[in-house]
Structure 1
Amino acid sequence: MSVINNKLKVEYGDFQTPIELAKRICQKLSSLGVNPDLIVEPTCGVGNFIVASIKQFNLAANIVGIEINPDYIKAAKNSPIIKHDERVIIHHGDLLNFPLSNLEQSGEILVIGNFPWITNSQQGLISGKNLPQKSNFLGYKGLDALTGKSNFDLSEWMLIQIIEWLQNYEHSYLGMVCKTSVARKILHYLRDRQKNVCQFSTYGIDAKKYFKAAVESCLLFCEFRGKFKRYFCDVFPSMESADFQRIGFSHNRLIADMVTFQKLSFLYSETQPLIKWRSGIKHDCAKIMELRQVNDDLVNGLGEKVNLEDDYIFPLLKGSDIANGKISQTDKYVLVTQKSLGEDTTLIQNHAPQTWNYLEQNAANLDGRQSKIYQNHPRFSIFGVGDYTFKPWKIAICGLYKKLEFRLISPLKGKPVLFDDTVYFLGFDTEPEAIAIFEIITSAEAIAFYNSLIFWDEKRPIKTSILNCLNLHPRLIPPRNPVVSNGVSFPPPCR
């Protein structure tokens, strides 16, 4: 068999499931009560899931594989176990266009496998064509449609197609290897569209061991039966574990730990916060906009000494500085062209001519910024600026690091400290006000509350939407119920 080339392996998100893992998954599904009449493997590769299904589910009447790569089909059909089992049919086709409705079906269905681990943006980088017809299929609007939220895993799209197909049948199962982040997106999809699901759980898989991939992955197990609509997920650390943590929805958001959240829900802010967490400066041109003090000189990222008016220069702390507690001094500075979003930048020309000349001299870099957010805005615009940016006292945290380390930030060299856009912060006019809020945020209860909301496997686990959930005004927090539940109620199985 010829080996699929590297470009195609990337394009098709080709992570072949080892036979050892395929067997473990089939055994786990069987232990969960799965006993299908029809088994479908929509991207069967060399056929490891089909082999494992043959051995585990001997009562299944039909086993169907679908595969786009002819070399993999040849390898699968040459497997002694597959070619001598008359129940198995392997179709040469692409799930993106395959008519699932044509599959003959009676009794219970199991869809099993491992869909491609690649996003649509990664496909674009390699000019890949293994994509569904392009559309904003989750309906994002505004900036969300222009930025990261509109990026999706191909496996997410494929899982949705399978789920939509399985909604037509009385009783079916899904047992799919995927990223844990994709599994949560599928739970969101089911709830947002009010789809039927009676059981939804994940079981941790060591992706580094089985796929040499540094990503959190799992076996996603779903049972679809009748009209049950149970939108929660029991998260097991492994297929062998009996202990689990329940994630589910409350206040129209997905909660990472329902038990802890229920105990601390009195800390949840039901209204718009009076003090909002904000993100730092976004300029997308660090070589020009960020400066470093070398002796008595300011030097830009190109190694050039610059001589600029002080009015537009502010001390800068980056996300790594905040995360590592390096906050008492800095040799980094940032050039801030606006005090508010959309402010006319030509005002700099008269007020600070040296700064304006510097911007014009580096216009090629600034005008060449690719993000669409700079379109239809004044020349040399930045984002993440407002009155809050220039408050003298701040509380800050880096969104990229997987720890809840809040820092109390004071002015440096007589100026307010600014941050890059990996940092979230609150701004205050006075030190006592900042200290009072800092004590609330760093309390044991507040940290536990935040942990119940955060999914630590995400690329940027800490978000303003999470930080703003904590009620920062104790007088507004409702009285606690003296009887605290030890857990959430678990509904009986959907049998």
Structure 2
Amino acid sequence: MSVIKSKLTIEYGDFQTPIELAERICQKLSSLGVNPDLIVEPTCGVGNFIVASIQQFKSAAKIVGLEINPDYIKAAKNSPIIKHDQRVILHHGDLLNFPLSNLEQSGEILVIGNLPWITNSQQGLISGNNLPQKSNFLGYKGLDALTGKSNFDLSEWMLIQIIEWLQNYEHSYLGMVCKTSVARKILYYLHDRQKNVCQFSTYRIDAKKYFNAAVESCFVFCEFSGKLKRYFCDIFPSLESADFQRIGFSHNRLIADMVTFQKLSFLYSETQPLIKWRSGIKHDCAKIMELRQVNNDLVNGWGEKVNLEDDYIFPLLKGSDIANGKISQTDKYVLVTQKSLGEDTALIKHHAPQTWNYLEQNAANLDGRQSKIYQNHPRFAIFGVGDYTFKPWKIAICGLYKKLEFQLISPLKGKPVLFDDTVYFLSFDTEPEAIAVFQILTSAEAIAFYNSLIFWDEKRPIKTSILNCLNLHPRLSPLLETRFLKETRFPSPHHVDRRGIGGGIGGGIS
């Protein structure tokens, strides 16, 4: 495959749907009672969904296909099945610029297909142009608008435009192949914006088999009828399966296991947590800020020996260390330029001149950090620091690994341990306090509660927004009250397994 073709494949998220899968999907739609008058395929490619629709939906009056790639349009028009069916209209163009409202419509509508599998950040890496006009279209605020949450799949944006169009009609359907994570985001969108939807279900698709892609994918089916607003999703393990698991909303949150959550919902925190989960240090310059001890020397990421004052150097545990229980010692350290957000880093020049010289020697890299979070902040600023960072006792978990394993972290070499930004942690002033909370977090009840909230197929399944849901206040968590009070009154570190406890969803990194 040429470099040019590879770039185009990435830019357009081009995963052509095999005719076998397109036919199975159309058969599934027919079995669900779908019998449309108008069929629209917004990214029709070589026309496999068009062909499957022609064969399955004999009574459809019009079948419209859009495609941005001229070679694909040519191939679709040359298909014997397509070119001999007078109902088919193919447009060379794309959904980003095509006004759906221009389509004449009467009766029921079906929008079907397989939208691009690419995010806006991936587009940026290859300088791609296949993007809608840049905007914070989901309305994130503050840091969320500047960091990871503002990254979205192109298919997510497209699906939202299609749903908004279908809201205008009495009865319509959406049937799309997409990432499972995108399907959930669409359910979030419908619920958050209080859009009409009377049925929402997903059917697992083997992406490795059909697309040679290592990603969780599904066929998502939505029915829009009148003003019905049903915000739950039935998840089927295959297109043929009759068994399903239902996910839905509670406390304005999408729940992965409604049955378990309802049993343990009294553990849900309705208020701001008294003890708040935080994420580790974010500096975006690992070769400069992260150091290793080699014999008696500190060495940076380029293998250079560095001589720095001890004041700003702290032991570091990374996500893999936490996930694998390597917590009793470390040869990794991190340079921390601030004790709180916005603190004047120029103070380092007077308190630790060697450290300041080291920062200035590496200023080109530090000043060149692209993230907007560093704008309008002191030079050499970092994020993920506060009083909580420097407390001696911590409970930590890595957000990237697909297992619930909490670790109780003690100081190392007389200093508090710090973490990278893949780690979430609670911090404490005393060991007994940390042990008491650790016992709660590793209880069977707490593990089951968290499992009911976590979607394990996500890239970073464990998040602070989930961890902070567990009510750690003893008076408000009756099931855990006895355990908490017992450990608080009679803390005994000899009774604590410091290696953590497994939550039981496999292992390995996502």
Q: Secondary structure at the match of 2:190?
A: helix
After superposition, the C-alpha distances for 1:369-389 in whole angstroms (9 at most, x for unaligned) are 221111221222111111111
C-alpha displacement of 1:351: 2.0
After superposition, the C-alpha distances for 1:36-83 in whole angstroms (9 at most, x for unaligned) are 122111111111011111221122222221222222122112212222
Alpha-carbon separation, structure 1, partners of 2:122 and 2:79:
33
Q: Secondary structure at the match of 1:54?
A: helix
Alpha-carbon separation, structure 2, partners of 1:100 and 1:388:
51
Matched with 2:442 is: 442
Question: Residues 277 and 313 of structure 1: is their aligned pair in 2 closer, same or farther, counting only changes over 3 Å?
Answer: same
Alignment of 1:377-416 (within 5 A): 377-416=377-416
Alpha-carbon separation, structure 2, partners of 1:126 and 1:461:
27
Gaps of 5+ in 2: 479-489, 494-510
Task: Report the more deviating stretch, 134-143 or 380-389.
Answer: 134-143
Alpha-carbon separation, structure 2, partners of 1:349 and 1:67:
59
After superposition, the C-alpha distances for 1:342-374 in whole angstroms (9 at most, x for unaligned) are 112222222222222222222222222221111
Alpha-carbon separation, structure 1, partners of 2:195 and 2:491:
18
Alpha-carbon separation, structure 2, partners of 1:354 and 1:71:
61
C-alpha displacement of 1:477: 2.2
- Cα RMSD (Å): 4.9
Matched with 1:3 is: 3
Q: How many equivalent pairs are there?
A: 482
After superposition, the C-alpha distances for 1:306-354 in whole angstroms (9 at most, x for unaligned) are 2222221111110000000001111111111211111122222222222
Alpha-carbon separation, structure 1, partners of 2:427 and 2:41:
53
Alpha-carbon separation, structure 2, partners of 1:165 and 1:365:
46
C-alpha displacement of 1:228: 0.1
- Identical-residue share of aligned pairs (%): 92
Task: Report the more deviating stretch, 396-405 or 61-70.
Answer: 61-70
Alpha-carbon separation, structure 1, partners of 2:373 and 2:341:
12
Q: Does the Cα contact within 8 Å between 2:435 and 2:491 map onto a contact in 1?
A: no
After superposition, the C-alpha distances for 1:109-163 in whole angstroms (9 at most, x for unaligned) are 1111011111222222222222222222212222222112122111111111111
Question: Residues 452 and 14 of structure 1: is their aligned pair in 2 closer, same or farther, counting only changes over 3 Å?
Answer: same
C-alpha displacement of 1:209: 0.9
C-alpha displacement of 1:458: 1.6
Task: Report the more deviating stretch, 466-475 or 220-229.
Answer: 466-475
Task: Report the more deviating stretch, 221-230 or 369-378.
Answer: 369-378
Alpha-carbon separation, structure 1, partners of 2:11 and 2:282:
31
Say whether residues 1:368 and 2:368 are aligned partners. Answer: yes
After superposition, the C-alpha distances for 1:396-442 in whole angstroms (9 at most, x for unaligned) are 00011111111011111111111111100011111111111011101
Alpha-carbon separation, structure 2, partners of 1:123 and 1:204:
26
Q: Does the Cα contact within 8 Å between 2:436 and 2:491 map onto a contact in 1?
A: no
Matched with 1:109 is: 109
After superposition, the C-alpha distances for 1:253-300 in whole angstroms (9 at most, x for unaligned) are 221222211111011011111110111111111111111111111111
Alpha-carbon separation, structure 2, partners of 1:286 and 1:377:
19
Alpha-carbon separation, structure 2, partners of 1:491 and 1:204:
47
Alpha-carbon separation, structure 2, partners of 1:201 and 1:407:
37
Q: Does the Cα contact within 8 Å between 2:178 and 2:219 map onto a contact in 1?
A: yes
Q: Does the Cα contact within 8 Å between 1:396 and 1:425 map onto a contact in 2?
A: yes
Say whether residues 1:265 and 2:265 are aligned partners. Answer: yes
Matched with 1:33 is: 33
C-alpha displacement of 1:6: 2.7
C-alpha displacement of 1:102: 2.6
Alpha-carbon separation, structure 1, partners of 2:296 and 2:93:
67
C-alpha displacement of 1:463: 0.8
Alpha-carbon separation, structure 2, partners of 1:359 and 1:75:
58
C-alpha displacement of 1:443: 0.9
Task: Report the more deviating stretch, 290-299 or 128-137.
Answer: 128-137
Question: Residues 358 and 172 of structure 1: is their aligned pair in 2 closer, same or farther, counting only changes over 3 Å?
Answer: same
Question: Residues 320 and 12 of structure 1: is their aligned pair in 2 closer, same or farther, counting only changes over 3 Å?
Answer: same
Q: Does the Cα contact within 8 Å between 1:2 and 1:71 map onto a contact in 2?
A: no
Task: Report the more deviating stretch, 445-454 or 101-110.
Answer: 101-110
Alpha-carbon separation, structure 2, partners of 1:269 and 1:86:
59
Question: Residues 70 and 354 of structure 1: is their aligned pair in 2 closer, same or farther, counting only changes over 3 Å?
Answer: closer
C-alpha displacement of 1:244: 1.7
Alpha-carbon separation, structure 2, partners of 1:142 and 1:3:
38
Task: Report the more deviating stretch, 229-238 or 463-472.
Answer: 229-238
Q: TM-score, normalised by structure 1?
A: 0.93
Q: Does the Cα contact within 8 Å between 1:167 and 1:196 map onto a contact in 2?
A: yes
Alpha-carbon separation, structure 1, partners of 2:459 and 2:309:
38
Alpha-carbon separation, structure 2, partners of 1:339 and 1:6:
45
Question: Residues 170 and 2 of structure 1: is their aligned pair in 2 closer, same or farther, counting only changes over 3 Å?
Answer: farther
C-alpha displacement of 1:3: 13
Q: Secondary structure at the match of 1:358?
A: helix
Question: Residues 141 and 492 of structure 1: is their aligned pair in 2 closer, same or farther, counting only changes over 3 Å?
Answer: farther
Q: Does the Cα contact within 8 Å between 1:410 and 1:417 map onto a contact in 2?
A: yes
C-alpha displacement of 1:4: 8.7
Question: Residues 491 and 358 of structure 1: is their aligned pair in 2 closer, same or farther, counting only changes over 3 Å?
Answer: closer
Q: Does the Cα contact within 8 Å between 1:231 and 1:249 map onto a contact in 2?
A: yes
Question: Residues 184 and 160 of structure 1: is their aligned pair in 2 closer, same or farther, counting only changes over 3 Å?
Answer: same
Q: Does the Cα contact within 8 Å between 1:18 and 1:48 map onto a contact in 2?
A: yes
Alpha-carbon separation, structure 2, partners of 1:44 and 1:153:
18
Task: Report the more deviating stretch, 71-80 or 463-472.
Answer: 71-80
Q: Secondary structure at the match of 1:28?
A: helix
